[in-house]
């Protein structure tokens, strides 16, 4: 108990120092807002949520005032940055919503008894709310780093990692700017921590946390999509740690059902009509609708049939009492695969809620991608030389499979 209390006191001290480093000099530029991204974010977060800020184009599209306050109505919502600014907005909307919510609550509570509490939502001061929110978010990041160090190694390792992060220069600097980097980093670390827990105990609620955190991270910065690979890697580490005794450390043919189910699930997910019709990287194919409808049943039989062969044949080989331990491992692996796909689906729902204007709307049930959002993301991608090459390579791979995808 004494050791626990001592570690807790040290951790609280580290977090206090981390928060102090990130709050000191919060108004370091004396309201001048030297960071160009911060000035841009300031102008957006000040105007969202206010009906009088709607552009003329948005008012023409949506003459009904009630539609301006419909959260998922992309064309009309006052929370959509594109409806209150004629320029492009390629950052995530979740940090905007968080800072705007904090500012409005400060104006409502007025803890410092300002003469005009709405000052917290004004352009001249709302960047301080954003910086404060980033400072708190980065302090929580230090806590997550402690948790990961503790779970992977020991309490001492976790405390050391948290202390090093608390005093690291770059996170302290980024916390003094109102940009989306710090908050997106927090959601990334939440997903990372959930993956660490999956690799250790494989509990379902860690998959739920990973899915929610991944969606929140994507709703902050869409280029955090590679974070998704952490979950299957963590799941594989767990399964590998709980392999059948005597299986050895190398390849074993009993892994075939696991690989077959994973590939089959991936193909089914990748070949859904929503992905085919709405993924921005998929090129058009020369097939007419009539041809696609004629060939669709054949394609479905091929996908489902190949998937069944990939899973059922190796499972048939597991019959017999000598393979009983492998059957238990396979059932555990099958549940793990299902949890991974469940987390993937939950991350999409989370992204849908936190970044609603990546979709066309006007309701939650409408999942068509917003063409304007897709265009803005593609324009930004083309300005980056290396990601542009990756995007071109991905397009080439998609073109190679476009015919098959169009049939399913």
Q: What is the pLDDT of residue 265?
A: 60
Domain ranges (residues) in the chain: 2-176, 192-407
CA distance 275 to 74: 20
Region 157-161 average pLDDT:
97
Q: What is the pLDDT of residue 397?
A: 46
Is pLDDT above 60 for 270?
no
Backbone angles phi, psi at 369, to 5 degrees: -65, 145
H or E stretch covering 234: helix 230-241
Give me the chain's average pLDDT, please: 82
Of the pLDDT bands very low, low, confident and very high (cuts 50, 70, 90), residue 346 is: very high
What angle, rounded to 10 degrees, do the helices at 324-354 and 230-241 form? 160
Is pLDDT above 90 for 274?
no
Centre a 10 Å sphere on the Cβ of residue 319 and count the other Cβ atoms it contains. 9
CA distance 292 to 299: 10
Sign (positive or negative) of CA dihedral 25, 29, 32, 33: negative
Q: Between vectors from CA 142 to CA 140 and to CA 144, what angle results, nearest 5°?
A: 70
Cα–Cα separations (whole angstroms), residue 137 to 23, 29, 112, 243, 360: 12, 21, 22, 38, 30
pLDDT more than 90, % of the chain: 50
CA distance 76 to 67: 6
CA distance 62 to 69: 11
Q: Between vectors from CA 34 to CA 33 and to CA 37, what angle results, nearest 5°?
A: 85
What digits encode the pLDDT tens for the residues 213-231? Answer: 999 999 999 989 999 999 9
What digits encode the pLDDT tens for the residues 312-322? Answer: 555 555 555 55
Instruction: Enumerate the β-bridge partners of residue 359.
Output: 369
Q: What is the pLDDT of residue 304?
A: 57
The count of C-alpha atoms lying within 13 angstroms of the C-alpha of 64, restricted to the half-sphere facing its C-beta, is 7
Is pLDDT above 50 for 62?
yes
Region 145-159 average pLDDT:
96
Region 176-180 average pLDDT:
94
Of the pLDDT bands very low, low, confident and very high (cuts 50, 70, 90), residue 89 is: confident
Identify which has the larger pLDDT, 66 or 262: 66
Identify which has the larger pLDDT, 389 or 164: 164
Determine contact, residues 289/408, Cβ cutoff 8 Å.
no
Q: What is the pLDDT of residue 2?
A: 78
Of the pLDDT bands very low, low, confident and very high (cuts 50, 70, 90), residue 203 is: very high
Closest CA to 282 of 145, 183, 403, 146: 403
Identify which has the larger pLDDT, 71 or 380: 71
Is pLDDT above 60 for 11?
yes
Closest CA to 74 of 380, 372, 361: 361
Closest CA to 271 of 292, 243, 288: 292
Q: What is the pLDDT of residue 292?
A: 53
Of 79-93, 97-111, 281-295, 371-385, where does mean pLDDT reach its minimum?
Answer: 281-295
C-alpha R_g of the chain: 25
Q: What is the pLDDT of residue 217?
A: 97
What digits encode the pLDDT tens for the residues 355-406? Answer: 999 998 899 988 888 988 888 888 776 665 545 555 554 455 445 444 444 4
Determine contact, residues 127/38, Cβ cutoff 8 Å.
yes
Q: What is the pLDDT of residue 374?
A: 85
Region 277-294 average pLDDT:
49
Quick one: tokens of 167?
A: 């005093």
Identify which has the larger pLDDT, 237 or 332: 237
Instruction: Enumerate the β-bridge partners of residue 369.
Output: 359
| Residue 372: partners with Cβ closer than 8 Å, 6 or more residues away | 82
CA distance 38 to 340: 37
pLDDT more than 70, % of the chain: 72
Q: What is the pLDDT of residue 206?
A: 97
CA distance 153 to 134: 28
Q: What is the pLDDT of residue 285?
A: 47
Is pLDDT above 50 for 275?
no
**What would the DSSP string read from start to end of 294-362?**
HHHHHHHHHHHHHHHHHHHHHHHTT-SGGGHHHHHHHHHHHHHHHHHHHHHHHHHHHHHHHSGGGB--S
CA distance 221 to 215: 10
Determine contact, residues 96/133, Cβ cutoff 8 Å.
no
CA distance 179 to 41: 7
DSSP H helices, 24-125, are: 36-47, 56-61, 81-84, 94-109
Of the pLDDT bands very low, low, confident and very high (cuts 50, 70, 90), residue 301 is: low
């Amino acid at each position: 108990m004494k050791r626990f209390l001592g570690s807790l006191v040290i951790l609280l001290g580290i977090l206090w120092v981390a928060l102090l480093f990130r709050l000191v000099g919060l108004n370091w530029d004396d309201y001048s807002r030297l960071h160009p991204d911060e000035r841009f974010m300031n102008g957006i977060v000040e105007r969202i949520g206010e009906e009088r800020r709607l552009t003329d184009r948005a008012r023409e599209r949506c003459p009904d005032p009630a539609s301006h306050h419909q959260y998922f109505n992309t064309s009309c919502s006052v929370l959509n940055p594109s409806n209150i600014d004629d320029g492009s907005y390629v950052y995530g909307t979740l940090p905007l919503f968080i800072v705007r919510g904090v500012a409005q609550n400060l104006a409502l509570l007025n803890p410092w008894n300002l003469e005009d509490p709405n000052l917290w939502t004004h352009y001249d001061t709302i960047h301080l709310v954003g910086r404060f929110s980033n400072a708190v978010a980065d302090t929580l990041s230090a806590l997550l780093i402690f948790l990961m160090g503790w779970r992977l190694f020991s309490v001492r390792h976790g405390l050391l990692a948290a202390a090093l992060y608390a005093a690291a220069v770059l996170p302290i600097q980024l916390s003094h700017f109102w940009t989306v980097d710090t908050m997106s980093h927090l959601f990334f670390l939440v997903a990372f921590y959930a993956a660490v827990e999956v690799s250790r105990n494989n509990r379902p609620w860690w998959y739920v946390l990973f899915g929610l955190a991944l969606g929140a991270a994507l709703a902050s910065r869409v280029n955090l999509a590679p974070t998704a690979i952490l979950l299957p890697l963590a799941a594989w580490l767990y399964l590998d740690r709980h392999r059948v005794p005597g299986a050895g450390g190398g390849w074993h043919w009993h892994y075939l059902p696991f690989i077959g189910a994973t590939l089959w699930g991936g193909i089914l997910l990748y070949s859904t009509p929503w992905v085919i019709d709405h993924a921005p990287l998929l090129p058009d194919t020369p097939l007419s609708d009539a041809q696609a409808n004629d060939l669709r049943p054949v394609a479905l039989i091929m996908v489902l049939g190949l998937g069944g062969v990939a899973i059922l044949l190796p499972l048939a080989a597991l019959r017999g009492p000598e393979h009983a331990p492998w059957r238990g491992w396979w059932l555990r692996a099958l549940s793990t695969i299902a949890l991974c796909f469940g987390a993937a689906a939950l991350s999409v729902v989370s992204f849908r809620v936190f970044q609603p204007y990546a979709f066309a709307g006007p309701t939650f049930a409408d999942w068509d991608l917003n063409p304007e959002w897709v265009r803005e993301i593609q324009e930004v991608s083309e300005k980056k030389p290396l990601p542009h090459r990756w995007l071109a390579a991905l397009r080439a791979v998609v073109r190679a499979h476009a015919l098959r995808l169009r049939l399913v």
